[in-house]
A = this chain, B = another copy of it.
Amino acid sequence: MRPRGERRIIALADGGFDLLEAKTAVGVIRYAIDPVVAVVDQAHAGKRASDVIGVGDLIPVVASVGDALALHPDANTLLLGTAPRGGVLPASWRAQIVQAMRAGLDVINGLHAFLSDDAELAPVAAAAGVTIWDARRVPDAHRVADTRAHALPATVILTVGSDCNVGKMSTALEVDALLRKRERTSVFVPTGQTGIMIAGWGASIDEVISDFTAGAAEDLVMEAAKVAAAADDFILVEGQGSLVHPGYSGVTLSLIHGSAPDALILCHQATRTQIRRYTLPIPSYADLISIHRALTAPVKPAPVIAISLNTHGMPDADARAAVARATAETGLPATDPIRFGPDALVDAVEAFGRARANSR
């Protein structure tokens, strides 16, 4: 596989290229060091990525992998950028994946279904001499969490959310980047396929056997602590799911108890009132904060110290009002780190780190 820094990526997002569905494509477009040269989605063919998702100014959306290759013959990597519910490979994608591999493209796959185990696709990759990287494949470490990350020198911050796809990864990336810009040592800990593709390491913890999920999260934090080793360093852990999500809450709690954060940033999409794909209402900020307090207190207390809002698609005045309301309801700093910059979140994180150092 071409190393990071040498990839030119076609992102296959057919049938789901929007902010909610194409989380991986959006994350890689926004944060990875390798360029996405085209996005494949029939429904939006002819547009630019920025028309659809607000980032990726110059990236054309085309109707097929064939069109993308015609436009960018130097593309060398195909990214499966949509993570459909359950993670199964859509049948309609197979022909396009085969076409890309035969054209010499490596494949980066973020789905639950492992393409390197696929009876049809694996032989095609071998014959074409290209590599399939299944980013969700997890190490076979079967270790129960043992609280080893409970007393690290560095301050560990975990992003948690009111739902899936509200901005937990982006918030962690933005806070990590600004901390480093402020000349702090900070390490971003990827816990899902997109974060892994962006950062080049990590583990997709929702793919781990549930008995060992907290252990896997603990291992990731211990790895980060080798770099962020001092008392004024930071570890920014990418959150997953939500404690109030009927399908994924167990992943979230494993991550909370395994990564053992010192503090939490609560992420929410400002316009969302129900858990996506379910008819369950999202609790108030106050209830979300108290649910997280209830679950962290008995294992390792971790207060919510700031609110990160995703205000995508809202008029600016509404976004400002949503931020003000979050602060009014919680007494905590709030912002949309993408729209307004992550300064308010980073100020809160640094202040928390100082207070923590002083109390030790």
Residues of A within 8 A of B (CB): 85-88, 112, 142-147, 205-211, 213-215, 243-255, 257-258, 278-281, 283, 287, 290-291, 294-295, 298-299
Residue from A207, A254, A255 whose CB has the most chain B CB atoms within 10 Å: A254
Residue from A211, A252, A295 whose CB has the most chain B CB atoms within 10 Å: A211
Let me know if A298 and B278 touch, CB within 8 A. no
The answer to whether A249 and B257 touch (CB under 8 A), given A208-B210, A280-B298, is yes
Considering the complex, give the chain B residue whose CB is closest to the CB of A143.
Answer: B86
Residue from A245, A283, A298 whose CB has the most chain B CB atoms within 10 Å: A298
Question: In angstroms, how far is the closest chain B Cβ from the Cβ of A301?
Answer: 12
Let me know if A246 and B210 touch, CB within 8 A. no
Considering the complex, give the chain B residue whose CB is closest to the CB of A292.
Answer: B294
Question: In angstroms, how far is the closest chain B Cβ from the Cβ of A237?
Answer: 15
The CA of A239 and the CA of B112, in the complex, are separated in Å by 27
| List of B residues within 8 angstroms of A209 by Cβ | 206-210
Let me know if B291 and A298 touch, CB within 8 A. yes
Considering the complex, give the chain B residue whose CB is closest to the CB of A251.
Answer: B210
Question: In angstroms, how far is the closest chain B Cβ from the Cβ of A273?
Answer: 13
The answer to whether A144 and B85 touch (CB under 8 A), given A290-B294, A298-B283, is yes
The CA of A295 and the CA of B250, in the complex, are separated in Å by 11
Let me know if A206 and B210 touch, CB within 8 A. yes
For the complex of A and B, 5 pairs with smallest distance between CB atoms: A250-B254, A294-B294, A144-B247, A206-B211, A250-B250
Let me know if A298 and B287 touch, CB within 8 A. yes
The CA of A333 and the CA of B38, in the complex, are separated in Å by 64
Considering the complex, give the chain B residue whose CB is closest to the CB of A282.
Answer: B298
Considering the complex, give the chain B residue whose CB is closest to the CB of A290.
Answer: B294
| List of B residues within 8 angstroms of A299 by Cβ | 244, 246, 249, 280
The CA of A181 and the CA of B3, in the complex, are separated in Å by 66
| List of B residues within 8 angstroms of A290 by Cβ | 294
Let me know if B207 and A86 touch, CB within 8 A. no
Let me know if B257 and A246 touch, CB within 8 A. yes
Let me know if A142 and B86 touch, CB within 8 A. yes
The answer to whether A243 and B249 touch (CB under 8 A), given A144-B85, A287-B298, A295-B294, is no
